[in-house]
Every structure is written in C-alpha cells, then in structure tokens.
C-alpha cells in the first residue's frame, strides 16, 4: 500500500556513484566482449580472475573438515588474528609487542579500521582535524568527514616531476597545530604509486614528534611494494620513536580476501596501561557500531599467520602477485613504446603497488571507456594489477589511439 502523506523522504536526492565502486558496476554491465577493468584495486591473475591463494584454499579445506559452529567473536576479534597483525606490522621481536603497548581490534576491512580509528580520535579530540595527501584515496575524505572531522590536505605529489613535493610537504607539517591528525599511506601510495624514501620517512617521523602531530598510517598493500618487512618501514620507524600513532591495516589485497572484510585497527600507546584503556574505548565504539566482527576471513588469516608452513606458502603466493604486477608495468611501458605512444610512460615502471597515476586527461579517459571498453578511474589512476599478457597490448593500443 502506498501513501500520499508527505515525508522527509520526499526530498532525498540521488547520491552520486562512487568513483571506484560505481565504475566497477558499470564495467560489469558493459556487454562488450573486449573490455578491460583498470578501475578498482583488485589483483587478477593471467586469466583475468581474482585468485584464491593456495594458502587460503588449504586453510578453508581444513576449516570445512573441522566444521566449527558459527558463534560470536569477541568484540575485538580473534586474539590470534590480532597478535598476528601486530607481528606483521611491527616485526615479531618488536618492543611495542613486548611492552604490550599496542591495542588491536579486528575490523571490517581497512575501511572499517579507518572508520573506527576516526571515531576513536573524534571522541578524544576537541576540534578534530585531519590532513590527507594531495591526492589520496577518495574514501579517506568521506570517512573522516562522516566521522565529524574537518578535512584538509598537505602537498604530496608533483604532477610536473612525478615525484613527491617533499619540501612542501614538510613545510606544511611544520606549520600545523599540535594534535592535528596526519593520514599517510605507509606504502604503495594510492593513487600515485609514489612513496617517500626511507630517509624521507625518518624526517616525517621527526616532524610529527616535534610538532606533536597524530600520525595515522593506512597500510592496505603490505607486500605489494618490495616485501612485507620493507613495506612496514614507516610503521616500524614510528614504533621505534616512541610516539603514539594509529595504523589501519587490511588483508583484502595481500590475502586476496576482498569480500571477507578482514582488516585491523591498531593504536600504539605509551604503555600497557594506556593501551588497555584505549582498547576498552574502541571496544565500546565497535559494540555500538556493529557489535563484533565476522569470523570466516579472520580465521583464515589467523590460521595462516600462526602456521609456519602456511605462512611460507602465503609469502610465495604474495611474491608471485607482486612479481606479476611488476612484469605488467614493464610490458605496458614496452607495448606503449612499441605502438608509438606520443607520451613517455616509462615512469609507470618506477611506481609501487597496484596502481599507476597515468596522467591521462579526462577526455582521454572518457574515450578509453566509450570507444575501447577500457575503464580508468577519473583521477587517471590505472590498476596495473588487472593487466595480463592477453589484454596489455590492447590496452596500450587504446591508450596510444586516444592520444591522437
């Protein structure tokens, strides 16, 4: 039965499609046979499929045989999962772990970790303000705005050189009020693929300490840059410095567990007592948001991380994914050159992680989608991780043709 009584619902407007997930939907609906999805950050194999990692497959079989009931998890998630997260982030012999000064909760992916972290900070800061890099993953801005933050930006990527505007970034950080939250990508910056060097990270850590800033590190691609340990360099420098800071981490990409929503929020505190108090507050927030996290994905990760054989298999799976993305960067650059690209795209080979900031124009991006079925995010970000030997030449040819 419908009603004609007017309602506040009458004036609800249509929200815009998400620039990344909306594009993914449009790709799925595209009836063309020859199409390439370079939009969403999802790794695909040579056959264009999202892989089921062999370590995950093996663990799921073991889990199915065991047949555990589907009970509630604790609010903070599976304890072995949380401790596994800490070992990956800080290294197994870290003082942070020995001193028990980190509070970790299992979250709904990296996005959930960012949201719980933002809610937590909002509850303790007077006038919460966060600065994000220019550019950044678009959802960073939305998450912090929805959590009630004022969101500003700091200089990061210089379009002219394709490098970090490091001096400008540092000058900006130097000028900030104490307790400003600085959101940073710990590795494999999304969307640019350009990360600070280790020396630059050392300097960033120093400025954060001197200016009493609150570092918030997002690590969604650990293992896709160089390796699991090197990619955690920034996090480990912050940990060694003694400063309080926050980490949002995710296993969506490095375990290929996108839909299982496996992430973690970790707050590094002064000491064990502070960590306990922080954990209690975050648990209250989680309880009021979604009560407790889902079981399946975190059980897989906890099992793999706590079994040396499965861990070794995971490292192999991850190495394979990373090496293939690097190969695709090389093949794309070669193919663009071979097919007579007017623009020099060799910078793609030097970028880290799943993405490349391609510097294609909005018109070129539109033509790629309309005329060639090649889907690129509006910012010009290309997901190199969805290229393969069968679509790389087609993609390069299309990119060359839209330059005409």
Q: List residues binding ligand KET (CB under 6 A).
A: 20, 40-41, 109-111, 137, 139, 185, 190, 218, 220, 250, 252, 263
Which residue(s) pair with 96 in the sheet?
none
Cβ closest to ligand KET, residue 365 vs residue 400:
365
Which residue(s) pair with 130 in the sheet?
151, 181
> Known catalytic residue: 218?
yes
Rounded least distance, CB 139 to ligand KET, Å: 6
Rounded least distance, CB 222 to ligand KET, Å: 11
Cβ closest to ligand KET, residue 40 vs residue 400:
40
Q: How many Cα atoms are found within 13 Å in the side-chain-facing hemisphere of 119?
A: 16
Other beta carbons within 10 angstroms of residue 127's beta carbon come to: 9
Instruction: Say how far apart CA 14 and CA 203 lie, in whole Å.
Output: 45
Sheet holding 129-134, edge to edge: 102-108, 262-268, 245-250, 214-219, 181-185, 129-134, 150-155
Residue with tokens 């980490």: 247
Options 218, 231, 299, 397, the catalytic residue:
218
> Known catalytic residue: 253?
yes
Task: Evaluate the CA torsion angle 224, 227, 229, 230 in order and state its sign.
Answer: negative
- The burial of 31, by beta-carbon neighbours within 10 Å (0-12 exposed, 13-18 middle, 19 or more buried), is given as exposed
Cβ closest to ligand KET, residue 41 vs residue 84:
41
Report helix, strand or coil for 182: strand
Cβ closest to ligand KET, residue 82 vs residue 218:
218
Rounded least distance, CB 42 to ligand KET, Å: 7
Cβ closest to ligand KET, residue 250 vs residue 388:
250
Cβ closest to ligand KET, residue 106 vs residue 252:
252
Cβ closest to ligand KET, residue 254 vs residue 391:
254
Rounded least distance, CB 96 to ligand KET, Å: 22
Rounded least distance, CB 211 to ligand KET, Å: 24
Given a contact cutoff of 8 angstroms between Cβ atoms, the answer to whether 355 and 41 are in contact is: yes
By beta carbon distance, the residue nearest ligand KET is 109
Q: How many Cα atoms are found within 13 Å in the side-chain-facing hemisphere of 77?
A: 33
Residue with tokens 């056959």: 47
Instruction: Say how far apart CA 149 and CA 266 lie, in whole Å.
Output: 20
Tell me the backbone φ, ψ of residue 313, rounded to 5 degrees: -65, -40
Given a contact cutoff of 8 angstroms between Cβ atoms, the answer to whether 164 and 204 are in contact is: no
Rounded least distance, CB 40 to ligand KET, Å: 4
Q: Please give the structure tokens belonging to residue 207.
A: 């400025």
Looking only at the bridges linking them, the beta strands covering 150-155 and 129-134 are: parallel
Options 253, 299, 314, 397, the catalytic residue:
253
Q: How many Cα atoms are found within 13 Å in the side-chain-facing hemisphere of 99?
A: 17
> Known catalytic residue: 137?
yes
Rounded least distance, CB 49 to ligand KET, Å: 17
Tell me the backbone φ, ψ of residue 104, rounded to 5 degrees: -120, 135
Options 82, 115, 137, 299, the catalytic residue:
137
- Helices and strands, counts by H and E, the chain: 14, 13
Residues with catalytic annotation? 137, 218, 253
């Amino acid at each position: 039965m419908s009603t004609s009584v007017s309602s506040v619902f009458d004036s609800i407007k249509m929200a815009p499609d998400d620039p990344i997930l909306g594009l993914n939907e449009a790709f799925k609906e595209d009836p063309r046979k020859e199409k390439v999805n370079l939009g969403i950050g999802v790794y695909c194999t040579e056959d264009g499929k999202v892989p089921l990692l062999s370590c995950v497959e093996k663990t799921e079989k073991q889990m199915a045989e065991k047949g555990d009931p589907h009970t509630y998890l604790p609010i903070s998630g599976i304890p072995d999962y949380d401790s596994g997260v800490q070992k990956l982030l800080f290294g197994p012999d870290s003082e942070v772990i020995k001193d028990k000064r980190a509070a970790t909760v299992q979250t709904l992916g990296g996005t959930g970790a960012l949201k719980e972290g933002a809610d937590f900070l909002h509850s303790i800061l007077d006038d919460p303000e966060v600065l994000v890099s220019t550019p950044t993953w678009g959802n960073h801005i939305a998450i912090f705005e929805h959590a009630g933050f004022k969101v500003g930006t700091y200089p990061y990527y210089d379009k002219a050189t394709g490098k970090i505007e490091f001096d400008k970034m540092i000058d900006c950080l130097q000028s900030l009020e104490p307790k400003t939250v600085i959101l940073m990508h710990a590795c494999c910056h999304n969307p640019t693929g350009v990360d600070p060097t280790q020396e630059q990270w050392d300097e960033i850590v120093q400025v954060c300490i001197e200016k009493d800033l609150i570092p918030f590190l997002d690590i969604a691609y650990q293992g896709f840059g160089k390796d699991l340990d090197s990619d955690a360099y920034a996090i480990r420098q912050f940990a060694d410095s003694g400063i309080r800071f926050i980490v949002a981490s995710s296993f969506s990409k490095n375990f290929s567990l996108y839909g299982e929503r496996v992430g973690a929020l970790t707050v590094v505190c002064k000491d064990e007592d502070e960590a306990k108090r922080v954990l209690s507050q975050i648990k209250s927030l989680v309880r009021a948001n979604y009560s407790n996290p889902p079981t399946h994905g975190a059980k897989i990760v906890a099992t793999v991380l706590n079994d040396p054989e499965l861990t070794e298999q995971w490292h192999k799976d991850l190495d394979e994914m990373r090496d293939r993305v690097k190969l695709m960067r090389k093949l794309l650059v070669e193919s663009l050159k071979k097919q007579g690209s007017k623009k020099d795209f060799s910078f793609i080979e030097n970028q880290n992680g799943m993405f490349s900031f391609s510097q294609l124009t909005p018109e070129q991006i539109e033509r790629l989608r309309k005329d060639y079925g090649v889907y690129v995010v509006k910012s010009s970000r290309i997901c190199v991780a969805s290229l393969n030997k069968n679509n790389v030449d087609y993609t390069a040819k299309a990119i060359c043709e839209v330059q005409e």
